[in-house]
Amino acid sequence: MTILLQINSGMKGDQSFSSQLADQLAVRLKSANAPIRHIRHDLCDESLPHLNNATFDAFSCSEETLTEEQKALLAPSDRYIDELRHADILILGVPMYNFMIPSTLKCWIDHVTRAGKSFQFTDTGPVGLLEDRQCYICIARGGFSSDGATDLMKNYLRMILNFLGIKNIEFLEIEGLAQAKDTPDLLIKNSLKTAGISILEGA
């Protein structure tokens, strides 16, 4: 069965436009890839702890030597890496906050970027351990960043996912939400159409 992993990071949950774009994409992918198992996270509801020294130390311990306390610290990282490893399709819902990804998504990335689990150091440099798979990144912005100069967010996401081994990345974007003449619904629909996704479900 195909596994679709969706990670939303908008602070407004279902009201976030990035989450709505990601949700509508998921609906269309599900109709095109049935049967599909859909795992969906809203990071704004999950209170994922920031990495701290104790957790980072536990990252480098061998499994046999882990204390119960360390196992508990590693539990979120273990779970998120396991989900990511098994996902055939990955969707990230990503708003732009202060020219960057939300801190909740950075926190998720910090938990899944783990030496020996999702990448490893070799004599020739670091190598991603995750198999490549289709990844869609659904971005919402109040302004416009398509000139690239302020697009740190896309460059960062492409770089970190490539680092882990995920190279097949497609960006879907809705921009100018702060001053849009078109409704968010229409912007979402157009974004799906531009990506060729709408044909999957007559939108």
Of 135, 155, 158, 140, the closest CA to residue 96 belongs to: 140
Scanning 8-16, 35-43, 77-85, 125-133 for contacts with ligand FMN by CB under 6 A, the matching segment is: 8-16
Q: How far is the CB of 167 from ligand FMN (least distance, A)?
A: 25
Bridge partners for 169 per DSSP = 135
Nearest distance in Å: CB 131, ligand FMN = 28
Closer by beta carbon to ligand FMN, 2 or else 103: 103
Work out whether 141 is an interface residue with ligand FMN (CB under 6 A). yes
Min dist. Cβ of residue 175 to ligand FMN (A): 7
Q: Does 95 bind ligand FMN (CB under 6 A)?
A: yes
CB of 152 to ligand FMN, least distance (A): 10
Residue 177 near ligand FMN by CB under 6 A: yes
How many residues of this chain bind ligand FMN (CB under 6 A)? 17
Which of residues 74, 92, 140, 166 is near ligand FMN by CB under 6 A? 140
Query: What would the DSSP string read from start to end of the chain?
Result: -EEEEEEE--TTGGG-HHHHHHHHHHHHHHHHS-SEEEEEEEGGGT-PPPP-HHHHHHHTS-GGG--HHHHHHHHHHHHHHHHHHH-SEEEEEEE-BTTB--HHHHHHHHHH--BTTTEEEETTEEEE-SPP-EEEEEEE-SS--TTSTT-HHHHHHHHHHHHHT---EEEEEE--TTS-SS-HHHHHHHHHHHTT-GGGGT-
62 or 98: CB nearest ligand FMN: 98
Q: Which of 142, 156, 158, 203 lies at the binding interface for ligand FMN (CB under 6 A)?
A: 142
Binding residues among 13-72 for ligand FMN as defined by CB under 6 A: 16-19
Where does this chain bind ligand FMN (CB under 6 A)?
A: 10-12, 16-19, 95-99, 140-143, 177
